[in-house]
Amino acid sequence: MATFVFANFFQTTLASPASSSATSITVASGTGAPTISAGQQWALVLQSAATPSVREVVYVTAVSGAAFTVVRAQEGTTALSWSAADNVFGSNTAGQMASFFETVTPLGGVLGGTLPNPSIVTNINLPGAPTTTTAASTTNSTQIATTAFVMGTSSLAEISGWKKSPDPSSPTGYIIEQWGQVPAITGGSGVAITFPLTFPNGLLSVVAVAGATAPSAGATLAGVQASTSGFNAYNASASAGTQPGLYIAKGW
């Protein structure tokens, strides 16, 4: 695709008539016209001196003094017949503006170096300690992760929370560990436990342990009916109650 070249304040008139099929025009003066190389073009407007609203956009592909090689009827305009002394001038056109967006392509990096020949930098070293928005915990993409995303939102010292860790054996590339408290449960009863975070993809295991302080004889605690959002902690003893305990769950 040809690229545009530009010239400031170019304005002249036709030195001789041009038919609607002409592929070259001769202007009164070529002073100020840009140099046009292969693969380049220059947008000009032909305008009737008698009726200024009558116009045609042409693309100049070669300049030789006052003789211009042109491509007619550009950008939705119609090829017309022109008279000597009709106006010829350079102007910004919609086609020029659109070409700026058409020529932008992904670089696979950022621009470095100096213009007009910048280099592409693929490894970026940002100074200081830059911050950005932390992605949702369910995000699984090539997006750059913050330390908050990698570590999760909880501290291991907290009573309940979750932690995300890299794991190449996981289908998502990470494993999530969650933990929390289990209240005291009377014999033959259960309580619903909700995880701090719903596992985005699946639950692997959950283990619930009753407190070790003066447990009732025969009281046993089990995690049943588990899902990605929680589980039921159940006291298997018909009569003995459990002490408050803890649970740990793993998933991805």
The model's pTM? 0.45
The reply to whether 83 falls in a domain is yes
CATH of the domain at 198: 2.60.40.3940
Taking a C-beta distance cutoff of 8 angstroms, is the pair 162, 195 a contact? yes
- C-alpha angle 208/251/176, rounded to 5°? 100
Look at residue 129 and tell me if it is in a domain: no
Q: Looking at the structure, do residues 97 and 8 belong to the same domain, yes or no?
A: yes
Q: How confident is the model at residue 149 (pLDDT cuts 50, 70, 90)?
A: low
- Domain membership of residue 118 (yes or no) is no
pLDDT over threshold 50, residue 215: no
Q: What is the dihedral of CA 41, 42, 43, 44, to 10 degrees?
A: -130
The verdict on residue 11 lying in a domain is yes
In a domain, 138, yes or no: no
- Kindly state whether residues 161 and 95 are assigned to the same domain: no
Choosing from 101, 131, 163, the residue where a domain stops is 101
Q: What is the DSSP letter of 50?
A: S
Q: Given a cut of 80, is residue 184 above it in pLDDT?
A: yes
52, 100, 237 from 22: Cα distances, Å: 21, 29, 100
- Each residue of 128-140: pLDDT tens digit? 777 778 777 666 6
Residues of the chain with pLDDT > 70, as a percent, come to 79
Helix (H, G, I), strand (E, B) or coil at 183: coil
Q: Is residue 9 part of a domain?
A: yes
Q: Tell me: do 154 and 92 sit in the same domain.
A: no
Q: Domain range holding 172? A: 147-251
Dist CA 101 CA 1 (whole Å): 13
* Separation CA 11–CA 210 (nearest Å): 90
166: cis peptide before it, omega within 30°?
no
> Across residues 221-248, what is the average pLDDT?
82
